[in-house]
Amino acid sequence: MDELINALLRALAFGTPLLLASLGAVINERAGVVNLGVEGMMALGALAGFAVAYGDGTPGSGNLWLGILAAALAGGLAALLHAFVTITLRANQFVSGLSLTLLGLGVAGLLGKRYEGLPLTGQPPQWPFTVGAIVLAGLLAFWLSSTRAGLTLRSVGENPAAADVLGLNVGAVRYGAVAFGGALAGLAGAYLSLVYRPSWTDGMTNGLGWIAVALVIFVGWNPLRAIFGSVFFGLLYYLQFRLQGKTFIPTEVFSAMPYLLVIVVLGVAGLRGQQGAAPESLGRPYTRGER
Amino acid sequence: MIRFDPISDVPRSRVVWVTLVALLVALFIAGLVFVAAGTNPLEAYSTMLRGTVADWSGWSEVLRRAAPLLLIGVGLTLAIRAQFFNIGGEGQLLLGAVAAGGVALFTPIAPALMMVAMFVGGALAGGLWALLAAFLRVRLRVNEILSTLMLNYVAASLVVYLINGPWKGEKVRGFIYTDDFPAYAQLPTLGDTQVGWPTLVLGAALAVALQWFLGRSTGGFELRVVGENAAAARYAGISVASVIYRMALITGGAAGLAGVGEVAGIHHKLLEPGQISSGYGFTAVIVAWLARGNPALCLVTAPLMGIILAGGDVLKINMNLPFRITDVFSGVMLMCLIASEVFVKNRVRWGR
Longest dimension (CA), chain A: 62
Quick check: A89 and B316 in contact, CB under 8 A?
Answer: no
In this prediction, residue B3 has a pLDDT band, given cuts at 50, 70 and 90, of: confident
Longest dimension (CA), chain B: 73
Q: Dihedral angle at the C-alpha atoms of A12, A17, A18, A24, nearest 10 degrees? A: 130
**DSSP secondary-structure letter at B180?**
P
Has residue A291 got a pLDDT over 50? no
Locate the domains of chain A by residue range: 2-277
**What is the pLDDT at residue A140?**
98
Q: Hey, are the CB atoms on A266 and B154 less than 8 Å from each other?
A: no
Q: Could you tell me if A107 lies within 8 Å of chain B, comparing CB atoms?
A: yes
Quick check: B130 and B245 in contact, CB under 8 A?
Answer: no
Instruction: Identify which of A78, A41, A38 has the alpha carbon closest to the alpha carbon of residue A213.
Output: A38
Q: Give φ, ψ of A14 to 5 degrees.
A: -70, -35
Q: Could you tell me if A249 lies within 8 Å of chain B, comparing CB atoms?
A: no
Q: Is A273 left (phi over 0), alpha (psi -120 to 50) or beta?
A: left
pLDDT tens digits for range B22-73: 999 999 999 999 999 999 999 999 999 999 999 999 999 999 999 999 999 9
* A100 Cα to chain B: minimum distance (Å): 6
Average pLDDT of span A250-254: 85
Up-side HSE of residue A137: CA atoms within 13 Å toward CB? Answer: 25
Which residues of A are less than 8 Å from B143 in CB distance? 217, 266
pLDDT tens digits for range A135-178: 999 999 999 999 999 999 999 999 999 999 999 999 999 999 99
Q: Give φ, ψ of A254 to 5 degrees.
A: -70, -40
**What is the pLDDT at residue A290?**
58
In this prediction, residue B352 has a pLDDT band, given cuts at 50, 70 and 90, of: low
Determine which helix (DSSP H) or strand (DSSP E) holds B332, and give its type and residue range. helix B325-345
ipTM of the complex: 0.93
Q: Give φ, ψ of A157 to 5 degrees.
A: -80, -30
**CATH classification code of A2-277:** 1.10.3470
More confident of the two residues A120 and A89: A89
Those of residues 21-80 in A touching chain B at CB distance below 8 A are 36, 40
